[in-house]
Chains A and B, each alone.
Chain A
């Protein structure tokens, strides 16, 4: 399926989901769905750098928080429509991604990961000490109850859900297009063997910078509507461990070499977390992530996609 056909199919599925959710009319579905879709964007964004390129980023929460705090900044300065905030969040996080990439991409393996973790700590410290966006106290965002669009009154949480659905579709279409493009091949060579990639003529530094920028931009996009969703944003929640851990765990569980991996991983892990939040406790979320990660590292170290590919290959060989 070419990219145009895939984009149209993804948009059609997204629209169908929106219609079904509207028809069901259950508010909780929007809240839970928003979180799962947000993690689809985050996991897909992480996978562009971590999965396709092999550079494990532990600082996802920072990029997410930059998107969220850029919205808080505009809310205080001059409130703007959420779609504009999403674009702004993407630009700011993308620039931070580019800068981080430029400073850290000469590092490899664990050193790069530690640098991204340190970057998250630096940004959290900056935000905690930035009074304008609430500092350590946090910031309140008063979310409108509803929104008027073309004479129709839409529940605001439904609106946010629809926006996140659009972002998820854009992220998946982009990730799939990258995977099948020259850029995708180039990123895969970096993951496999950077020295050999250079020897084949692949401009590794340039491709890594593209990957960090895109990855950061999508994470910022995911974070931008978050203050409107949560209503009260504080550094501990925006820079929360769950964003860093989930954005790594979800692609790892689904499989990191394909756009489908983060989607499957998020649907599995995100749904399990939402179910546990309702039936047991929200505190059990990270425990679920940990247990599933351990299970998958043992059963399917290359994720579900990797497991299926391996089985197919073995069948073809026999």
Chain B
């Protein structure tokens, strides 16, 4: 099976600081990959390079058989890459329904080259809000939401773009156990629909439950990649996390 995402030897520096040093990564269609690493290991920089928020200086990113290098972030979204942010970034002046309307208008419409009737858009927004349990708050503003609801909105908005690959960047940070379970269940449901998911997370119990495969970054380098139970026993990973 050919990889959906192929990150080929990408590197990124911020002035003298090496944030990513020749990262190689492959993600198969419908796979659940956990991406972990201590703070400052380069996880978010890698996501930003994949999604086009940052441009990698070396190497290239291939997605769905095509090279993404040089494409702007919105063009990569049109190709089927979606992400949620570490800190939720809703459109504050818009209702929840309108927040979801944006990717439908700008990505799904652009990709399919067809116009959705107003009713279609509203129905799709409602369906997505229902999926994350926020249908009753469709007309509310994001500021009325709790932390976990904000995370759900973030995921629903990423899903509205109808992606092939979803990158969930610390979607569970700061949540309680039951809230983590909620988000995890949601991500698993999305994966069951055939969507490939990369989960970046510090909550190891959640990562272990979710991931079919685990990749570990330390100081901008990939130090491990494999089955979760093998990776957590890898001496380099143990050293990075426990300093032994």
**Interchain CB contact under 8 A, B89 and A198:** no
A 170-188 to B, binary, CB cutoff 8 A, 1 in contact else 0: 0000000000001001101
The residue on B at minimum CB distance from A204 is: B74
Residues of B near A257 (CB, < 8 A) are 93
**Which A-chain residue is minimally distant from B100 (CB atoms)?**
A200
State the CA gap A189–B141 with chains docked (Å).
14
When C-beta atoms are compared, the residue in chain B nearest to A182 turns out to be: B105
* Residue ID in chain B nearest A257 by CB atoms: B93
Closest to B105 in A: A182
CB-defined interface of A199-211 with B at 8 Å, one 1/0 digit per residue? 1111111000000
Given A199-B73, A200-B107, A201-B110, A185 and B101 contact (CB-CB distance below 8 Å)? yes
A198 and B74 within 8 A (CB):
yes
In the complex formed, the residue of A with least CB distance to B154 is: A196
Contacting residue for A185 out of B72, B102, B141, B158, CB 8 A: B102
Q: Does A198 contact B73, Cβ atoms closer than 8 Å?
A: yes
Contact B51 A203 (CB under 8 A): no
Binds A, one of B34-42, B77-85, B125-133: B77-85
| Residue B241 lies at the interface, judged by CB distance under 8 Å to chain A | no
Choose one: B83, B102, B160; the contact of A189 (CB below 8 Å): B102
| Shortest distance from the beta carbon of B107 to any chain A beta carbon, whole Å | 3
| Cβ–Cβ contact B90 & A203, under 8 A | no
Give the contacts of A112-142 with B (CB-CB under 8 A): none
Q: Are A202 and B74 in contact (CB under 8 A)?
A: yes
Partner of A198, one of B77, B91, B92, B160: B77
Contact of A198 with B78 in the complex, beta carbons under 8 Å: no
> Which of chain B's residues have a CB closer than 8 A to the CB of A205?
72
**Partner among B72, B93, B157 whose Cβ is within 8 Å of the Cβ of A200:** B157
Q: How far is the CA of A197 from the CA of B92 in the complex (A)?
A: 12
The docked-state distance in angstroms from the alpha carbon of A196 to that of B90 is 7
A193 touching B91 by the CB < 8 A rule?
yes
When the two chains form the complex, which single residue of A192, A200, A313 contacts B106, counting CB atoms closer than 8 Å? A200
Given A193-B89, A205-B72, verify A198-B53 contact (CB < 8 Å): yes
- Residues of A254-271 at the interface with B, using a CB-CB cut-off of 8 Å, are 257
Shortest Cβ distance from A198 into B: residue: B73
The reply to whether the CB of B161 lies closer than 8 angstroms to some CB of chain A is: yes
Which residues of A have CB within 8 Å of B77?
Answer: 198-201
A202 contact set on B, CB distance < 8 A: 74, 102, 106
Shortest distance from the beta carbon of B121 to any chain A beta carbon, whole Å: 10
CB–CB B53/A188 < 8 A: no
In the complex, A257→B93 CA distance in Å? 9
Q: Contacts of B72 on A, CB cut-off 8 Å? A: 198, 203, 205
Contacts of B73 in A (CB 8 A): 195, 198-199
A193 → chain B closest CB, angstroms: 5
Is the beta-carbon distance between B107 and A192 smaller than 8 angstroms?
Answer: no
A189 to B89, CA, bound (A): 11
Please measure, in the bound complex, the distance between the C-alpha atom of A264 and the C-alpha atom of B106, giving whole angstroms.
32
Which chain A residues border B98 with CB–CB below 8 Å?
185
- Residue pair A197, B53 in contact (C-beta under 8 Å): no
CB-CB under 8 A from B94, the residues of chain A are 185, 188-189, 192
B220 near A: Cβ within 8 Å?
no
Given A196, A203, A313, which contacts B91 in the complex, CB threshold below 8 Å? A196
Q: From the candidates B89, B101, B105, B141, name the one contacting A196 in the complex (CB within 8 A).
A: B89
Q: Is the CB of B93 within 8 A of A192?
A: yes
Q: How far is the CB of B55 from chain A (nearest CB, A)?
A: 13
Q: How far is the CB of B34 from chain A (nearest CB, A)?
A: 21
Would A195 and B53 count as touching, CB distance under 8 A? yes
| B106 and A203 contacting across the interface, CB-CB below 8 Å | yes
With contacts A202-B74, A203-B74, A205-B72 taken as known, whether A197 is within 8 angstroms of B102 at the C-beta atoms is yes
Bound state CA distance, A193 and B53, in angstroms? 13
**Residues of chain A within 8 A of B106, CB atoms compared:** 182, 186, 200-203
A204 to chain B, nearest CB (A): 7
How far is it, in angstroms, between the C-alpha of A27 and the C-alpha of B82 when the chains are bound?
Answer: 61
Question: Could you give, for residues 50-92 of chain B, a 1 whenever the CB lies within 8 Å of some chain A CB and a 0 otherwise?
Answer: 0111000000000000000000111101100011010001111
Interface flag for B103 (CB, 8 Å): yes
Q: Scan residues 58-79 of chain A and give those whose CB is less than 8 A from a CB of chain B.
A: none
**A202: nearest chain-B partner, CB-CB:** B106
Given contacts A192-B90, A198-B77, 9 further A-B contacts (CB under 8 A): A182-B105, A193-B89, A193-B92, A195-B73, A199-B74, A199-B77, A199-B85, A200-B74, A201-B103
Binding site for B on A (CB under 8 A): 182, 185-186, 188-189, 191-193, 195-205, 257, 313
A-B contact pairs, 28 of them (CB 8 A): A182-B105, A182-B106, A185-B98, A185-B101, A186-B102, A189-B91, A189-B102, A192-B90, A192-B92, A192-B94, A193-B92, A196-B89, A196-B90, A198-B52, A198-B53, A199-B51, A199-B82, A199-B85, A199-B158, A200-B106, A200-B160, A201-B77, A201-B102, A201-B161, A202-B102, A202-B106, A203-B72, A203-B74
Rank and list the top 5 A-B pairs by shortest CB-CB distance, nearest first: A201-B107, A198-B73, A196-B89, A201-B106, A201-B77
